[in-house]
Structure 1
Amino acid sequence: MTREELAKFDGREGRKAYGAVNGKIYDFSSSKMWQGGNHQELHQAGHDLTDELKSAPHVRAVIERFPVVGQLEEPGSEAGSGGSKAIFGIIAAVVILVVLFLVLR
């Protein structure tokens, strides 16, 4: 899930309340502590909360009790895989050209 997709799950107006921590997306919707997508007037659902959790009074284990509903895609992660595909395509094209050259010689 991208950050833009995660932002849609802000817990407002009946929407689910999701938050990301260390790349995992958790569903806080069932928690009374996340009513309306807001936790203690300090944290809003629909965001990466990893840095905010560092200053939280509770440990990460509290967050890990919630169901994991996905993984947060980091910016540029798709570009890396696209680059690998492009390199593979170039190598395949070169191999085909070499084979054609050898056969048609």
Structure 2
Amino acid sequence: MDRQLALDVGNAIGELVAIDWKDRNSGWTEFMRIKVKIDVLKLLRRVVRMVEKTGEEKIGLIKYERLLDFCYACGVIGHTMKTCMNNKEDAGSNASNFQFGS
């Protein structure tokens, strides 16, 4: 992962605000932490798709940190599962069935 990839991923998610490199040298790392301004009225993205120069498609998983009230059932910020209007509680549902986990 390099600086250009961080820019591309950040801009695909929302408005890129900052890049925090693990090694602080803006070089290749195992992961990158980016700060992105997003529209909280929309669902959070769970993956970002990238196409390499060879044409091969790669999928990167996105993890979020320090979210405010977040609904793991519908993926929207601003409420929790307890108050979610989209959460159809049924007897077989548990945290592992939801699209949005840790």
TM-score bracket for this pair, using the shorter chain length: under 0.3
Q: Is the radius of gyration larger for structure 1 or structure 2?
A: 1
Counting strand residues as a fraction of each chain, which structure ranks higher?
2
TM-score, normalised relative to structure 1: 0.21
Q: With CA pairs under 8 Å and 6+ residues apart, which has the higher RCO, 1 or 2?
A: 1
